[in-house]
Structure 1
Amino acid sequence: MWILKTIESFNHAIAGLIHAIRTQKNMWIHLTAAIFVLSFSLLFDLSRVELSLVIIAISLVIFAELINTAVEIIIDILTQDYSFKARIAKNISAAAVVVAAGNAIFIAYLVFFKKAQELSLNLIFNLRHEPLHLIFINLFLIFILVITLKSIFSSGTPLRGGIISGHSALATSVVLIIWFLTESLIAFSLTLILAFLTAQSRLEAGTHSLKEIVLGALLGSTITILIFYFFRI
């Protein structure tokens, strides 16, 4: 009898997974990425530990998306009208997906980076001592700091408004990264123009004040200079 109940439980679980795949666009994105990564891994001789990390990362992303879908459905059933707490709950469940996806990207970087180099991609990754890890850490750190500052001062959203301009911070960081990697005045000047246009667009749209744009530029430049000046080989 318990065998039949176990089989029935698996059927319900599979039905839930199928429903999520049919109704959630993000689930399609996650599955497409999972198929690509697993197919890409066939090109390499992954160890058991590396393959386990890849599979765990994929599973965590899908698991988080399933939980997020379930939370949204439950909230929609319980709350017909707009509720601030319901919105917070949905945002938190969505944040779980973002964290899982970030973890998957980091694991993919650890597992595939050196192996991709060995697969005749040296020309792509050969940027002055291959400082891709510094670029990744630098941009991710700036993003976290922007989110943290906006959370502390309870202003804006991660992508719009707030005490500091995240767009200006990242744009300024990219300008300095290109300078550190190439030391080309032309490349530096062109990216500086693009960064200026980015800041100008935020100002004209009324998303940020001049003070917030300047603070973002200061944050991006400070973090980038510290990381690349002290840690670059």
Structure 2
Amino acid sequence: MSDAEMPDSGAGCGNPGAGRAGAPEKPTRFIDSVNCAIEGILYASRTQRHMRRHFLAALVLLVAVLFLRVSALEFTLLAISVAFVLFAELMNTSIEVVVDLVSPDYHPLAKIAKDVAAGGVLVAAIGAAVMGYLILSQYIFPVYKELLDMIGSPTEMGTVVALLMVVIVVVILKSISGKGTPLEGGLPSGHAAVAFSIATIVSLTTRDPLISILTICLAVMVSHSRLLLRIHSPREVVLGALTGTAITIAVMLLFRLLN
């Protein structure tokens, strides 16, 4: 391949002029440096699923901040937390690319480098989650508690009926879909349906937002285990969660109307 046919490793970023030995020159203008930085962010967004999720979470947070009308100080703290998570993910991507360049084949040290970089992203994400909880809970929890109060506390009879109806509906749906067995596989996920039904019952019984969120987290963990075991697909798990939640709320509202 001739020199004219050689790919330009600096194309699209900075001034790809010919330096010594044909190497691309470093950006000399500010706008070129900014373009390089933006290209790096776009590369991470294109190639890293977690980066896209972080951007989506940041978008949701901005919408929430707009409606909740947080203070300037609270918005500043949230913005710093989000920026730190994005920064950590960019550094993680950069380290992964360099490790792949230096060590294309598997090497224990290369794995450690990638794991440590990923650990940095996890630490940043946990910190951002704690910051978001401490700031947003004071705005969201009162509204969430009012919503739970509107549905009302379940009676003992309502709880038993709701759980039985969830199980029966799951069995009927599994028989209709013709997939899996009663306790494994099929549409929808029975474990997810029962787990979210119980989480809904606990939420309505306590009417405590924090307990409700923790219980829902447990239901999510139960549902996620079905994915990890490759017993259910994401669609089956989501349908199970929606089935359990919807039936439980409907039964509670019906008992409240009848009583």
Which TM-score applies when normalising by structure 1? 0.51
Amino acid at match of 2:109: K
Match of 1:34 among 54, 58, 63: 58
Amino acid at match of 2:69: D
User: Structure 1: which 5+ residue stretches go unaligned?
Assistant: 127-177, 183-190, 206-233
What is the correspondence of 1:81-92 to structure 2 with a 5 Å cutoff? 81-92=105-116
Distance across 2 between alignment mates of 1:65 and 1:125 = 37
Offset of residue 4 of structure 1 = 5.8
Equivalent residue, structure 1, for 2:93: 69
Amino acid at match of 2:97: I
Distance across 2 between alignment mates of 1:93 and 1:124 = 41
Amino acid at match of 2:133: Y
Distance across 2 between alignment mates of 1:101 and 1:10 = 26
Amino acid at match of 2:71: S
Distance across 2 between alignment mates of 1:77 and 1:102 = 30
Offset of residue 125 of structure 1 = 7.6
Distance across 2 between alignment mates of 1:107 and 1:125 = 25
What is the correspondence of 1:62-211 to structure 2 with a 5 Å cutoff? 62-118=86-142, 120-123=143-146
User: Structure 2: which 5+ residue stretches go unaligned?
Assistant: 1-26, 150-201, 207-214, 230-259
Runs of 4+ aligned structure 1 residues displaced above 2 Å come to 123-126
Equivalent residue, structure 1, for 2:171: none
1:74 to 1:125, Cα distance in 2 relative to 1, 3 A:
farther
Which TM-score applies when normalising by structure 2? 0.46
Asked whether the equivalents of residues 64 and 100 of structure 1 are also in contact (C-alpha less than 8 Å), the reply is: yes
**What is the DSSP-based 3-state SS (H/G/I as helix, E as strand, rest coil) of the residue aligned with 2:106?**
coil
User: Quick one: percent identity of the two aligned structures?
Assistant: 36
Offset of residue 123 of structure 1 = 4.0
State how many pairs are aligned: 135
Equivalent residue, structure 2, for 1:46: 70
Match of 1:14 among 25, 30, 38: 38
